[in-house]
Structure 1
Amino acid sequence: MSRQALLAKIHIAKKDLSLDDDTYRAILGRFGVASSRDLTIAQMDLVLREFTGKGWQPKQTKSGRRPRPAASREALMGKIEALLADKARRQGLPVSWNYAHAVAKRVCKVDRLDFCDNVMLGKVIAALSYDQKRHPEVMSK
Structure 2
Amino acid sequence: MKQDYDTHTRYYHLHHFIILPLAFFLLIWTVVITLEDIVNDWLYLLVGVLFVLISFIARIYANKNQDRIIRLEMRLRYYQLTQLPFTPKENLLSIRQIVALRFASDDELLALIDKAIIKNLKPKEIKKSIHDWQGDFMRV
Q: TM-score, normalised by structure 1?
A: 0.36
Q: TM-score, normalised by structure 2?
A: 0.36
Q: Name which one, 1 or 2, has greater alpha-carbon Rg.
A: 2
Which structure has greater helix proportion?
A: 2
Q: Which has the higher contact order (CA 8 A, sep 6+)?
A: 2
